[in-house]
Amino acid sequence: MFFDTHAHLDDVRFDADREELISSLPATGISHVLVPGSSLESSRNAMKIACEHSNIYFAAGVHPGEIGTMTDKTIDDLADLAEQEKCVAIGEIGLDFYWYKDLIERDTQRYWFYQQLYLARELNLPVIVHDREAHKECFDAVNKSGVRGVFHCYSSSAEMAMELVKIGFYCSFTGVVTYQGARKSILAIEKLPMERILIETDSPYLAPVPHQKDRNDPRNVRSVAEVIARVKNLSVEEVARITSENAACLFKINLLQK
């Protein structure tokens, strides 16, 4: 059974068939899904989905592309959401100097990233980090703030992956590992100990080959596990089991609880 640690099931693209999709997951081998927040509103919607389904968990956080309207009150509201039993992390939070480099001031991004890291530290929750073209800064920020967590859709070097392992972090991989030109991700997977790897879809984005043009959904997390199995010379079942145990350990989830 697979644990998709990052799927935006609150996205409008799931409005038409969300319930149907979620109820079909166990039969297709997807035992758990973590829905990260990308704005305050999205975090609230993620909470609602998690509260209605025993196999779904959520994270509360504001994505760097959505911080434009953040205030101190938003941090208080995130803290309230984080009190919910199904909230297992603060995320997704981070720095994006690729998509948002001209849209949102770097200093504004930095400021709200740190505020959310401090919140995670205060609440003793792990963080889900979004890092686009800001590898060194994201590393320094999590290292300085003393939190644990995961770099989602890991896109940096094998060397940085090993530095992250040293400070208690995990690296999570998406369908990007099935793309041509995924060499950097493959090198990181080769180097990383299996105990620090997570799998995710980042649905509805980043559908694996050959479905790149389609809406992605948690059932495709198997494609990510297949690549990791090949690189690590393990069976897909072993990758499913180990990555699920890793997620359970990081997010403090009891996999047997229904």
Binding site for Zn ion (CB under 5 A): 202
Q: Of 17, 3, 10, 66, which is closest to residue 43 (Cα–Cα)?
A: 10
Describe the strand order of the beta sheet including 169-173 as a list of residue ranges.
Answer: 2-4, 30-36, 56-60, 87-96, 127-132, 149-151, 169-173, 197-199
**Between 10 and 202, CB nearer to Zn ion:** 202
Q: Name the minimum Å distance from CB 237 to Zn ion.
A: 26
CB 27 → Zn ion: shortest distance, Å?
A: 25
State which residue, 4 or 231, has the beta carbon closest to Zn ion.
Answer: 4
Listed in order, strand segments (DSSP E) in the chain are 2-4, 30-36, 56-60, 87-96, 127-132, 149-151, 169-173, 197-199
* Cβ atoms of 198 and 220 closer than 8 Å: no
CA dihedral 136, 174, 46, 60 (to 10 degrees): -20
**Whose Cβ is closer to Zn ion: residue 182's or residue 206's?**
206
CA–CA separation, 8 vs 57, rounded Å? 11
Nearest-CA neighbor of 198 among 153, 238, 163, 166?
A: 153
Q: How far is the CB of 6 from Zn ion (least distance, A)?
A: 6
Q: Smallest gap, in angstroms, from Cβ of residue 154 to Zn ion?
A: 12
> Which residue's beta carbon is nearest to the bound Zn ion?
202
Q: Which C-beta is closer to Zn ion: that of 10 or that of 178?
A: 10
CB of 151 to Zn ion, least distance (A): 12
Q: How far is the CB of 92 from Zn ion (least distance, A)?
A: 5
> Judged by CB, which is closer to Zn ion: 93, or 141?
93
Taking Cα atoms as reference points, which of 14, 32, 28 lies closest to residue 253?
32
Tell me whether residue 134 or residue 231 sits nearer to Zn ion (CB atom).
134
